[in-house]
């Protein structure tokens, strides 16, 4: 059977290994498995959200409010925009898909950092578009500027902070680059981890209403999967000028998030105290990983997220380290597929991290 030829060049997205797979393949007891590969919130969901889901579960037989009025109003108040500036997706990656399919075709070019969120390329290649990457792994705006002038891409992707590496540009530098971009170029500013970056360093904070006011060709993306601990609910959003949002809506299927997802996101926005507490704990625990890396002679990328990238240099092979940890019930992300000898570890709870350090130390000794 013949399929669209553009799919020949599309790679499958490699998701973090699920707990169930480790149980099946390695015989590890489920209670002994620590999943630190998908950047989920280790503290779980806000108790207020859990209660809301329990209360509303009786309505699962009903379709959700497809206008998503209450959620969009809450987001509008949070970001000081209008509800008409917002589109909600099944995760922010669905909004990425909308944006690329709305803007690109086989003659288009997409500009992004050398190492960044894989779905930018995957969705781009689904349209037949050409992918342009910077030379440096981390975001380098000089290279972005040079490649932008050379290729005049239809879309530019800035992942702030960057997944899977964790670094983040200063907002003033981002603004200077955006001033160079033609207004016909759609720029995606992916803020999936912005709550963490803004907490850690004011210079990284993106003020969304200011961003889309200054740059009408920009769409900002956010998600409830990370700081708000709703990864299993799949709720993300895009914020942009009305013309952009109206065009993305033409690609949105009705009822694209569930009744329970909608209720969870609305309730999660009401419990900012829970979010701040989780982020604060995240950076306290991240210091332990930094100290561990320095003690073992590894370098790490300064992270503004809820994960840290440990570079293993020429001391160890990341795939071997990740595999050995997996056999011990510790799931981390091997970055070999990105061309980097490194592992990415979600910052877990204090207890989880203590166990990770113990197991990682034993693995490193065995691999010497």
Give 115-152 pLDDT, tens digit per residue: 999 999 999 999 999 999 999 999 999 999 999 999 99
pLDDT band at 23 (very low <50, low <70, confident <90, very high): low
pLDDT tens, residue by residue, 72-97: 999 999 999 999 999 999 999 999 99
- CB burial of 297-308 (b: ≥16 within 10 Å; e: otherwise) equals ebebbebbbbbb
Position of tokens 């699920």?
A: 18
Cα separation, 229 vs 232, whole angstroms: 8
Q: What is the pLDDT of residue 16?
A: 66
89 and 178 inside one domain: yes
241 and 96 inside one domain: yes
Cα separation, 205 vs 199, whole angstroms: 8
67 and 140 inside one domain: yes
33 and 178 inside one domain: no
242 and 290 inside one domain: no
Q: What is the pLDDT of residue 313?
A: 81
Q: In 3-state terms, what secondary structure has residue 310?
A: strand
Q: What is the DSSP letter of 112?
A: E
Q: What is the DSSP letter of 163?
A: T
Q: Which domain holds residue 351?
A: 5-44+273-367
34 and 58 inside one domain: no
Confirm if 368 and 306 have CB atoms less than 8 A apart.
no
Cα separation, 138 vs 320, whole angstroms: 24
Q: How many domains does the structure of the chain reveal?
A: 2
pLDDT surpassing 90 at residue 282: yes
13 and 68 inside one domain: no
pLDDT band at 285 (very low <50, low <70, confident <90, very high): very high
154 and 264 inside one domain: yes
Q: What is the pLDDT of residue 31?
A: 79
Q: What is the pLDDT of residue 11?
A: 77
Q: What is the pLDDT of residue 98?
A: 97
194 and 326 inside one domain: no
pLDDT tens, residue by residue, 242-254: 999 999 999 999 9
| Residue that terminates a domain, selected from 221, 245, 271 | 271
pLDDT surpassing 80 at residue 358: yes
pLDDT surpassing 80 at residue 22: no
pLDDT tens, residue by residue, 318-357: 999 999 999 999 999 999 989 899 999 999 999 999 999 9
Provide the CATH number for the domain around residue 311. 3.90.1150.10
Q: What is the mean pLDDT of residues 167-177?
A: 98
What is the average pLDDT value for the chain, to the nearest integer? 94
117 and 260 inside one domain: yes
pLDDT surpassing 70 at residue 27: no
Q: What is the pLDDT of residue 267?
A: 97
| Residue that terminates a domain, selected from 271, 300, 326 | 271
Q: What is the mean pLDDT of residues 181-191?
A: 97
pLDDT band at 9 (very low <50, low <70, confident <90, very high): confident
340 and 362 inside one domain: yes
240 and 220 inside one domain: yes
The number of helix segments (H) and strand segments (E) in the chain equals 14, 13
Q: What is the mean pLDDT of residues 51-62?
A: 92
Q: What is the pLDDT of residue 297?
A: 87
| Residue that terminates a domain, selected from 271, 302, 326 | 271
Question: Any idea what the Cα angle at residue 90 is, between residues 101 and 38, rounded to 5°?
Answer: 105
Q: Is the omega angle on the peptide bond into residue 161 within 30 degrees of 0, that is, cis?
A: yes
Provide the CATH number for the domain around residue 62. 3.40.640.10
Q: What is the pLDDT of residue 44?
A: 93
pLDDT tens, residue by residue, 197-236: 999 999 999 999 999 999 999 999 999 999 999 999 999 9
């Amino acid at each position: 059977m013949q399929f669209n030829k553009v799919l020949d060049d599309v790679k499958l997205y490699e998701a973090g290994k699920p707990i169930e797979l480790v149980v099946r393949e390695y015989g590890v007891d489920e209670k002994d498995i620590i999943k630190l590969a998908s950047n989920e919130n280790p503290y779980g969901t806000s108790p207020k959200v859990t209660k809301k889901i329990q209360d509303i579960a009786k309505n699962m037989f009903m379709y959700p409010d497809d206008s998503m009025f209450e959620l969009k109003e809450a987001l509008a108040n949070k970001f000081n925009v209008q509800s008409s500036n917002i589109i909600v997706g099944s995760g922010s990656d669905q909004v990425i898909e909308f944006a690329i399919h709305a803007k690109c075709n086989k003659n288009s070019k997409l500009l992004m950092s050398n190492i960044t969120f894989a779905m930018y390329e995957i969705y781009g290649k689904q349209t037949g578009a050409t992918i342009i990457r910077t030379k440096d792994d981390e975001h380098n705006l000089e290279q972005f500027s040079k490649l932008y002038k050379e290729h005049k891409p239809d879309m530019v992707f800035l992942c702030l902070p960057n997944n899977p590496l964790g670094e983040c540009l200063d907002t003033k530098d981002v603004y200077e680059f955006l001033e160079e971009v033609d207004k016909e170029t759609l720029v995606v500013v992916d803020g999936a981890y912005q709550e963490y970056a803004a907490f850690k360093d004011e210079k990284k904070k993106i003020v969304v209403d200011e961003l889309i006011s200054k740059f009408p060709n920009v769409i900002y993306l956010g998600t409830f999967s990370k700081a708000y601990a709703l990864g299993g609910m799949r709720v993300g959003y895009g914020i942009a000028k009305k013309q952009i949002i109206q065009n993305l809506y033409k690609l949105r299927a009705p009822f694209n998030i569930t009744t329970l997802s909608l209720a969870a996101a609305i309730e999660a926005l009401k419990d900012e105290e829970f979010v701040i507490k989780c982020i604060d704990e995240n950076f306290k625990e991240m210091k332990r990983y930094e100290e561990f890396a320095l003690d073992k002679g590894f370098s790490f990328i300064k992270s503004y997220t809820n994960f840290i990238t440990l570079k293993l240099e020429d001391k160890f092979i990341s795939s071997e380290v990740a595999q050995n940890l997996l056999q011990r019930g510790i799931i981390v992300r091997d970055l070999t597929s990105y061309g980097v000898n490194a592992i990415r570890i979600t910052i877990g709870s204090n207890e989880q991290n203590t166990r990770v350090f113990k197991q990682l130390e034993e693995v490193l000794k065995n691999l010497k």
